[in-house]
């Protein structure tokens, strides 16, 4: 949730964790995110590649990778967005804040999207 643990609790969701989730988070933190960086040119060489631009709509409209899907960061986990992303495709995460791009990539990896890259 956007407002963190407080909002999660307020919405009535459990805050007790599962050991499996903790282990998954530890595994994700072992990822060398620098190795996930890819240029647009190299990404276009990948088979079944999907560019997903998580920047705000104004920045997306100002300029984006041709053919990129726009997903507002606040809608990242909406059902339509998740149904649109194919787990067999390589997903190229686009965001202008590297830390946010890393969080998105890590989250998608936790959700079993195997081929995640971050656009340089």
Specify the CATH number for 33-119; select among 3.30.930.10, 3.40.250.10, 3.30.70.580, 3.40.50.150: 3.40.250.10
Write out pLDDT tens, residues 46-57. Answer: 989 999 999 999
Structural domain boundaries in the chain = 33-119
Write out pLDDT tens, residues 96-116. Answer: 988 888 888 888 888 888 899
Write out pLDDT tens, residues 67-103. Answer: 999 988 777 777 777 777 888 899 999 999 888 888 8
Q: What is the 3-state secondary structure (H, E, C) of the chain?
A: CCCHHHHHHHCCCCCCCCHHHHHHHHHHHCCCHHHHEECHHHHCCCCCEEEEECCCHHHHHHCCCCCCEECCHHHCCCHHHHHHCCCCCEEEEECCCHHHHHHHHHHHHHCCCCCEEEEC
Please indicate, yes or no, whether the overall pTM of this predicted structure exceeds 0.75: no
């Amino acid at each position: 949730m956007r407002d963190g643990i407080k909002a999660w609790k307020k919405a009535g969701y459990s805050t007790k964790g599962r050991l499996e989730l903790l282990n998954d988070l530890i595994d994700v933190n072992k990822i060398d995110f620098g190795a996930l960086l890819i240029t647009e040119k190299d990404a276009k060489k990948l088979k079944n590649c999907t560019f997903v631009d998580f920047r705000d709509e104004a920045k997306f409209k100002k300029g984006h990778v041709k053919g990129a899907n726009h997903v507002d960061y606040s809608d990242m986990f909406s059902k339509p967005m998740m149904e649109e992303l194919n787990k067999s495709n390589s997903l190229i995460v686009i965001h202008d804040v590297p830390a946010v791009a890393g969080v998105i990539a890590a989250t998608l990896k936790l959700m079993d999207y195997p081929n995640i890259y971050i656009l340089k």
